[in-house]
Amino acid sequence: MSNTSIKITSDKLSLDECYEFVTDDSCGGITAFVGTVRNSTQSKEVTQLDFSTYKPMAIKEMQKIADLCLEKFSIKKIAIHHVEGMLQIGDVPVIITVSAPHRKAAFEACEFAIDTLKESVPIWKKEHFSDGEIWVNAHP
Amino acid sequence: MKLTILLFGISTDLVGATSLSFSLSSGSSVLQLKDKLQKQYPQLSQINSYAIAVNESYASDELVLKDNDVVAIIPPVSGG
């Protein structure tokens, strides 16, 4: 049975699903990171966000992160789920859950996974404002 | 040789396409492809920087391309 759950979907993400996936009798704790769409960037009001992906490669890169977490930290299971498509303020673009026998490894792996996802997974967000739109991180 | 170029994020808007068919002399490296792309689409220099993926994996500038490779332009990512 796989210890990793990787998903990119245009459906609403489920924290329950990510939580259920990582539960394990050998574990003493589960950590979760839930990303949410913020209502402003550099004091400009954001109206919505559009996530696009290079899906086959993004899945591979997310799988690499999950595999690396299992190798690097003493954890049992990890789920990394991300959405694509248009999201509104307060919606959830990403959920990561990690289970481990001891809590420290679960916290560390969860932080490592979201930090690495933001650096390497080919997913792009376009922020929509009331007066225009911008690809995040794209310009100097 | 013929390559398929996939464009994502801001590069789609700059070039005005999501994919291109591109010809390059055989034995060319990723760096040579980048030079040629930059000449043909100077608007790409408006991006901070971009990575190249070949057949769904990040590629170094030295990688030698093969006929029918699928090359993706990866502008700075912003997932999560």
Which of A53, A124, A128, A133 to mutate to test binding with chain B, by most B CBs within 10 Å of its CB? A124
Which domain does A79 fall in, by range? 4-135
* Domain chopping of chain B, boundaries: 2-74
Q: Does B4 touch chain A (CB under 8 A)?
A: no
Q: In chain A, what residues touch B58 (CB-CB under 8 Å)? A: 120
Q: Encode A1-32: b = buried (16+ Cβ within 10 Å), e = exposed.
A: eebbbbbbeeeebeeeebeebbeeeebeebbe
Using alpha carbons, select from A38, A51, A60 the residue that is nearest to residue A84: A51
A55 vs A7: CA distance, rounded Å: 10
Task: Give me the residue from B13, B57, B79 closest to A117, CB to CB.
Answer: B79
Whether CATH 3.10.20.30 fits B2-74: yes
Does A122 reside within a domain? yes
Give the domain CATH number at A117.
Answer: 3.90.1170.40
Q: In chain B, what residues touch A56 (CB-CB under 8 Å)? A: 56
Per-residue model confidence as pLDDT tens for chain A (140 residues):
699 999 999 999 999 999 999 999 999 999 999 999 999 888 889 999 999 999 999 999 999 999 999 999 999 999 999 999 999 999 999 999 999 999 999 999 999 999 999 999 999 999 999 889 999 988 75
What local confidence, expressed as pLDDT, does residue B49 receive? Answer: 87
What local confidence, expressed as pLDDT, does residue A140 receive? Answer: 59
- H or E element that contains A76: none
pTM metric for this prediction: 0.95
Q: How far is B15 from chain A (nearest CA, A)?
A: 14
Does A73 reside within a domain? yes
What local confidence, expressed as pLDDT, does residue A25 receive? Answer: 97
Does A140 reside within a domain? no
What is the number of domains present in chain A?
Answer: 1
Least confident of A39-43, B19-23, B51-55: A39-43
